[in-house]
């Protein structure tokens, strides 16, 4: 489904990033590998207005491409395959041999790489992002190297998040000739030894959705209460459960599940799965309550994720089909590991009519994330205000810097569970629309632009740059308010529609404006959000590599940021949106494309 473009009140056409990927017929959901920006994109970043100089940058990024998070999908499908082998349930010996070879190969690849760890693609993605972060703010970092500025690295504490940060730092340091390699903030709780020793574990802001932290410690106080309240909500909310059940029982999805599996298994065998004769748990013997099931050849003492959760099961064709779809999409992130003795091919099961079915499985997978971690349904905000501590940290980090702090950059590394609610809280592209508060009128690709592949692809990132101006504003007699602009997956975008930029068409905003328009009532400062001096935004002049000395950070005079509680805007199901500005030509081309493409999610099956 090609998501509809949206014309904002200000006349800026916004195009969800998912469009190009969907148009290519690839439906990888949140396992979409990161798509790096083009040179034209990075060369077009706007400069801060005249007289302003960037003094701080910060980001939060999802970990890069990884392998399977645990021995789960591959384990359960192997249990199913073993039962089919014993019951003559494969369509042919050749099909059996190919399917079991693929399962064994992807398991072996994950054992060698480490379950849940970055793949070669994931390392490359973050090295590239790190290098481009330096190039975009070269002057800031070169001056910091002279002036004693430091960089803060933070991680959720999960190994793949820290590993992503390590690769980011490698790319950053290579691009900067190691000027700041040793100028890092000393972490209060180091994420490990070696390169990981520079990373501070901050799960309260980067792993806020669970009371148990990645290192096994427990949250306390407000952070624990927030996590527990969130988990209780998503686990017990009737609308979320009902909507997800409606999608799982959708006739098109059920038919697609059967058709996908029918390429491999006989109808008689699948009938036994459908009627409950067969069910497999992720245990050694496949039974409920059986012994822990660990990947062949793995050392659980070194890779705990190589032993899967025993509660996971296949009890329906839908379960089995979704497990197979999950192997198909993770394979897109394992190109470097898909080689030699563990070469696998899951693309073959998603060709022809099954290529269209991949879209249905992507929708089903996206729906779970949408309802539990994204905008979800109208009338609730628990699924995204869980990210409030992270937004608060973005603001407090800016305050610390502009009030004289020496930290010139904060780079954070986390997860999709961090990015999805943060995107909805900020109103980023694709994360602005809620579903109806209904168990039957559910989220679909036809009625909502939210897509996992564009909201939270592997290595998804949000970056803010902060610029200040020396002296005092003659209008107020106080220091000039710092300005902020945002990049989303390295695309320069506007903040949400309630926020007023410093000038029409600009992507720079006063910090005071953002603290108001991103608060719970989303109030703009109106005319006070505009610049009142002769400064002008310099669009399309490329990365900030110009000459000049560091501008001394100063007190911005802004009030304390109040916790945000994003509510529906306009219609009851609409969260206010942020936009990606595109040229008029691109807008016309997109409208023409929309006129010529009409894909129906609720397709008539053969």
pLDDT band at 553 (very low <50, low <70, confident <90, very high): low
Give me the helix-helix angle, 317-331 and 353-373, nearest 10°: 90
| DSSP-H helix ranges across 263-387 | 267-274, 317-331, 353-373, 382-385
Other beta carbons within 10 angstroms of residue 598's beta carbon come to 9
All domains of the chain, ordered by start, with CATH?
A: 33-65+122-225+383-493 (3.40.50), 73-115+241-372 (no CATH)
pLDDT at position 475 is 80
Burial of 112 (0-12, 13-18, 19+ CB in 10 A): middle
Q: Give the mean model confidence (pLDDT) for residues 45-57.
A: 97
Q: Give the mean model confidence (pLDDT) for residues 528-540.
A: 70
The string of DSSP letters for 22-38 reads: HHTT---GGGPPP-PPP
pLDDT, tens only, 169-228:
999 999 999 999 999 999 999 999 999 999 999 999 999 999 999 999 999 999 999 999
Measured CA to CA, the distance from residue 587 to residue 581 in angstroms comes to 9
> Whose CA is closest to 125, among 177, 59, 170, 183?
170
Give me the helix-helix angle, 73-86 and 93-113, nearest 10°: 150
Distances (CA, A) of 29 to 35, 237, 424: 14, 24, 17
pLDDT at position 532 is 78
pLDDT at position 25 is 74
> Is residue 109 a contact partner of residue 342, using CB atoms and an 8 Å limit?
yes
Measured CA to CA, the distance from residue 466 to residue 369 in angstroms comes to 31
CA–CA–CA angle 166, 307, 124 (5° rounding): 25
pLDDT, tens only, 466-475:
999 999 988 8
The pLDDT of residue 590 is above 80: no
Question: What is the residue whose two structure tokens read 């950070």?
Answer: 553
3-state secondary structure of 255: helix
Count the residues in the chain: 606
pLDDT, tens only, 91-107:
999 999 999 999 999 99
> Is residue 192 a contact partner of residue 199, using CB atoms and an 8 Å limit?
yes
3-state secondary structure of 82: helix
* C-alpha distance across the termini of the chain, in Å: 19
Measured CA to CA, the distance from residue 283 to residue 267 in angstroms comes to 26
pLDDT, tens only, 445-470:
999 999 999 999 999 999 999 999 99
> Is residue 406 a contact partner of residue 368, using CB atoms and an 8 Å limit?
no
> Whose CA is closest to 69, among 269, 326, 436, 263?
326
The HSE-up count of residue 468 (CA atoms within 13 Å, CB side) is: 27
Distances (CA, A) of 165 to 31, 200, 540: 19, 11, 29
More confident residue, 60 or 5: 60
Element (H, E) at 498: none
Distances (CA, A) of 279 to 10, 272, 313, 327: 55, 9, 7, 19
pLDDT at position 588 is 37
3-state secondary structure of 51: coil
CA–CA–CA angle 462, 464, 466 (5° rounding): 175
Measured CA to CA, the distance from residue 455 to residue 569 in angstroms comes to 20
DSSP structural state of residue 603: P
Report the mean per-residue pLDDT for the chain. 88
The long-range contacts involving 172-176, CB below 8 angstroms and separated by at least 24 positions, are: 172/130, 172/131, 172/133, 172/134, 173/130, 174/127, 174/131, 175/130, 175/131, 175/132, 175/134, 175/135, 176/134, 176/138, 176/141, 176/142, 176/145
pLDDT band at 574 (very low <50, low <70, confident <90, very high): low
Percent of the chain clearing pLDDT 70 (strictly above): 84
The pLDDT of residue 559 is above 90: no
pLDDT band at 583 (very low <50, low <70, confident <90, very high): very low
3-state secondary structure 414-477: ECHHHHHHHHHHHCCCCCCECECCCCCCCCCCCCCCCCHHHHCCCCCEEEEEEEEECCECCCCC
Burial of 119 (0-12, 13-18, 19+ CB in 10 A): buried
Model confidence pTM above 0.85: yes
Two structure tokens written together for 89 = 């349930």
pLDDT, tens only, 212-228:
999 999 999 999 999 99
Measured CA to CA, the distance from residue 3 to residue 577 in angstroms comes to 15
The pLDDT of residue 340 is above 60: yes
pLDDT, tens only, 354-409:
998 999 999 999 999 999 999 999 999 999 999 999 999 999 999 999 999 999 99
Two structure tokens written together for 533 = 């001096």
Phi and psi (nearest 5°) for 483?
-110, 150
pLDDT at position 7 is 20
Two structure tokens written together for 409 = 């950059």
pLDDT band at 533 (very low <50, low <70, confident <90, very high): low
pLDDT at position 535 is 61
Bridge partners of 184? 151
pLDDT at position 566 is 34
Give me the helix-helix angle, 317-331 and 267-274, nearest 10°: 110
The pLDDT of residue 420 is above 50: yes
The pLDDT of residue 241 is above 50: yes
Nearest 10 degrees: Cα torsion 142, 145, 149, 155: 80
């Amino acid at each position: 489904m090609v998501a509809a473009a949206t014309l904002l009140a200000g006349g800026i056409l916004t195009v969800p990033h998912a469009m190009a990927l969907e148009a290519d017929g690839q439906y990888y959901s949140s396992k979409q590998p990161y798509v790096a920006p083009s040179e034209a994109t990075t060369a077009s970043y706007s400069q801060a207005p005249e007289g302003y100089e960037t003094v701080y940058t910060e980001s939060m990024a999802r970990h890069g491409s990884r392998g399977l998070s645990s021995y789960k999908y591959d384990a359960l499908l192997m249990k199913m395959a073993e039962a089919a082998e014993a019951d003559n349930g494969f369509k042919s010996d050749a099909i059996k041999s190919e399917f079991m070879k693929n399962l064994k190969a992807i398991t072996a690849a994950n054992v060698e790489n480490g379950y849940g760890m970055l793949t070669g693609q994931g390392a490359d993605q973050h090295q590239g992002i790190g290098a481009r972060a330096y190039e975009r703010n070269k002057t800031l970092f070169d001056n910091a190297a002279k002036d004693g500025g430091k960089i803060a690295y933070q991680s959720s504490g999960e190994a793949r998040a820290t590993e992503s940060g390590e690769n980011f730092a490698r790319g950053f340091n290579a691009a900067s000739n190691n000027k700041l390699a040793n100028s890092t903030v000393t972490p209060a709780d180091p994420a490990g030894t070696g390169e990981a020793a520079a990373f501070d574990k901050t799960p309260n802001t980067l792993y806020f959705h669970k009371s148990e932290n990645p290192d096994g410690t427990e949250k306390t106080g407000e952070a624990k209460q927030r996590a527990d309240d969130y988990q209780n909500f998503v686990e017990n909310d009737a609308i979320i459960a009902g909507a997800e059940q409606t999608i799982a029982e959708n006739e098109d999805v059920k038919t697609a599940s059967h058709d996908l599996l029918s390429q491999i298994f006989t109808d008689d065998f699948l009938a036994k799965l459908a009627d409950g004769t067969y069910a497999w748990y992720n245990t050694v013997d496949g039974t409920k309550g059986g012994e822990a099931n660990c990947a062949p050849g793995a050392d659980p003492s070194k890779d705990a994720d190589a032993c899967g959760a025993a509660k996971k099961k296949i009890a329906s064709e839908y379960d089995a089909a979704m497990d197979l779809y999950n192997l198909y999409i993770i394979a897109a992130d394992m190109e470097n590991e898909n080689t030699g003795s563990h070469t696998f091919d899951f693309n073959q099961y998603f060709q022809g009519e099954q290529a269209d079915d991949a879209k249905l499985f992507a929708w089903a997978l996206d729906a779970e994330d949408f309802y539990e971690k994204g905008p979800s349904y109208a009338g609730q905000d628990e699924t995204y205000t869980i990210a409030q501590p992270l937004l608060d940290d973005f603001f407090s980090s800016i305050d610390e810097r502009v009030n004289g702090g020496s930290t010139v950059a904060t780079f954070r590394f986390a997860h999709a569970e961090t990015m999805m609610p943060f995107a909805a809280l900020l109103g980023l592209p694709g994360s602005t629309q809620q579903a109806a508060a209904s168990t039957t009128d559910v989220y679909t690709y036809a009625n909502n632009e939210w897509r996992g592949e564009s909201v939270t692809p592997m290595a998804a990132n949000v970056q803010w740059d902060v610029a200040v101006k020396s002296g005092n504003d003659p209008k107020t007699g106080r220091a000039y308010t710092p300005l902020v602009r945002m990049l989303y997956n390295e695309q320069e975008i506007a903040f949400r529609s309630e926020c007023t930029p410093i000038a029409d068409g600009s992507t720079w905003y006063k910090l005071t404006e953002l603290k108001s328009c991103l608060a719970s009532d989303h109030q703009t400062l109106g005319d006070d959000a505009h610049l009142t001096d002769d400064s002008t935004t310099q669009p399309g002049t490329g990365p900030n590599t110009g000459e000049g000395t560091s501008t001394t950070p100063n007190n911005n005079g802004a009030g304390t940021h109040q916790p945000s509680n994003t509510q529906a805007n306009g219609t009851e199901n609409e969260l206010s949106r942020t936009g990606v500005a595109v040229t008029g030509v691109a807008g016309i081309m997109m409208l023409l494309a929309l006129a010529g493409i009409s894909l129906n999610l609720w397709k008539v099956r053969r």
